[in-house]
Amino acid sequence: MLIKAKNLNHIYSQGTPMEQKALSNVNLEIDSGEFIGIIGHTGSGKSTLIQHFNALLLPTDGEVLVKGIDTKKNKKQLHKIRQQVGLVFQYPEHQLFEETVGEDVAFGPKNLGLSEEEVEERTKAALEVVNLSYEDYKEHSPFELSGGQMRRVAIAGVLAMKPDVLILDEPTAGLDPQGRREILEQVSSFHKELGLTIILVTHSMDDVAKLAERLLVMHGGEIKLEGPPEQIFNYSDYLKELGLGVPEVSTLMKQLQKQGWDVPNNVFSVEQAHELLLSLVKRKWDGNNV
Ligand SMILES: Nc1ncnc2c1ncn2[C@@H]1O[C@H](COP(=O)(O)OP(=O)(O)OP(=O)(O)O)[C@@H](O)[C@H]1O
């Protein structure tokens, strides 16, 4: 078990007139190697929840265990948890501050006290992973890059810490379609090629449907639904009540199923749907022409 939350509650500014309950009795378990999508309306508690996974926030009540370490009881080990569980905040490019891309990505590893060679090796590898060539970009100012590239530099800075888990809070927010696609493809490769456990927070059902193996649907500080995307999308009316939609492709597939077409439940992307519809039409055509 990688991360476990037991009866987790979080109240901001507890005991003051500003008191705000953000999480209510959350119970969950996340295994190593999973790709989890967390989805919910604004203010549903997503950011509060993920900040407990790398001990930036501690439970007001209940407990969070990361690799068996109780975050509330083992404060001396929190730096280890923060290194192993990398958190990419919303708009992470706002946290870039060094003069060059190379120095920015190297900042975390340098702080770990690693040798110069190791720092350079990690910086190079992390930039290559986000498809930015080390030689071309190490001396480049991060502030002269496109929005998508700046975001990739910020993600490289977290990857250079060599985390086992990568949590991304709304990684596609504010990007154009091309930038969104690139970031999502890379997140998918972090999971498939680097073997990282991924926790992706988003408002977009389309984004998580394609990538996540398991979804957590949050509302009012609680986990309301949990399961693989194809199971979650069966609750489309309830999702609408929570202010969430289901991917349009999934709605189309359900309509085809109702009309008797042999269509699987796990088609969420336009590309998959396109391929499937072509094969159905071809099958029908071949059938009619035997
Ligand atoms: N630092 C804070 N102090 C007080 N209340 C807070 C703080 N951060 C969040 N909240 C409140 O806690 C609740 C959950 O907020 P949270 O940011 O976790 O939701 P979210 O689902 O991540 O929202 P969004 O999608 O807008 O980022 C909200 O009511 C919010 O106003």
Q: In this predicted model, what pLDDT tens digit does every residue of 149-169 receive, in sequence order?
A: 999 999 999 999 999 999 999
Neighbours of 279 (CB within 10 A): 10
Nearest CA to ligand 1 atom 1: 12
User: In the predicted model, what is the mean pLDDT of residues 5-10?
Assistant: 98
Residue 197: the pLDDT is: 98
User: How many angstroms separate the alpha carbon of residue 121 from the centre of ligand 1?
Assistant: 37
Q: Is 42 in the pocket of ligand 1 (CB under 6 A)?
A: yes
Backbone CA torsion sign across 105, 108, 114, 115: positive
| % of the chain residues with pLDDT over 70 | 99
Q: Is the pLDDT of residue 86 over 80?
A: yes
Residue 261: the pLDDT is: 83
Of 56-70, 83-97, 177-191, 273-287, which has the strongest mean pLDDT? 56-70
User: In the predicted model, what is the mean pLDDT of residues 231-258?
Assistant: 86
> 3-246 belongs to which homologous superfamily?
P-loop containing nucleotide triphosphate hydrolases (3.40.50.300)
Q: Is 40 in the pocket of ligand 1 (CB under 6 A)?
A: yes
Give the type of residue at 51: Q
Residue 275: the pLDDT is: 85
| % of the chain residues with pLDDT over 90 | 70
Enclosing H/E stretch for 215: strand 214-219
Distance CA 96, CA 144 (A): 12
Distance CA 180, CA 171 (A): 8
Residue 3: the pLDDT is: 97
Distance CA 31, CA 216 (A): 14
Contacts of 251 (CB under 8 A, 6+ apart): 236
ipTM of the complex: 0.98
What mean pLDDT is reported for the chain?
92
Q: Is the pLDDT of residue 145 over 90?
A: yes
Region of 152 (left: φ > 0; alpha: ψ -120 to 50; beta: rest) is: alpha
Residue 250: the pLDDT is: 79
pTM of the model: 0.91
One DSSP character per residue, 76-129 reads GGHHHHHHHEEEE-SSGGGG--SSSHHHHHHHHHHHTT--HHHHHHHHHHHHHH
Q: In the structure, what pLDDT confidence band is assigned to residue 290 with cuts at 50, 70 and 90? A: low
Rounded to whole angstroms, what are the CA distances from 130 to 9, 117, 120, 189? 35, 20, 16, 9
Nearest CA to ligand 1 atom 3: 12
Residue 189: the pLDDT is: 94
CA 181 to chain centre: 14
Nearest CA to ligand 1 atom 14: 45
The CA radius of gyration of the chain, in Å to the nearest whole number, is: 21
CATH 3.40.50.300 domain position(s) in the chain: 3-246
Which residues are paired to 199 by β-bridges? Answer: 36, 167
Q: Is 44 in the pocket of ligand 1 (CB under 6 A)?
A: yes
Q: Which two tokens stand for residue 172?
A: 């596609």
Residue 276: the pLDDT is: 85
Q: Report the residue among 9, 16, 47 best suited for mutation to probe ligand 1: largest number of ligand atoms under 8 A from its CB.
A: 47
User: In the predicted model, what is the mean pLDDT of residues 219-247?
Assistant: 91
Q: Which two tokens stand for residue 12?
A: 């901001």
Residue 190: the pLDDT is: 95
User: How many angstroms separate the alpha carbon of residue 268 from the centre of ligand 1?
Assistant: 29
Enclosing H/E stretch for 139: none
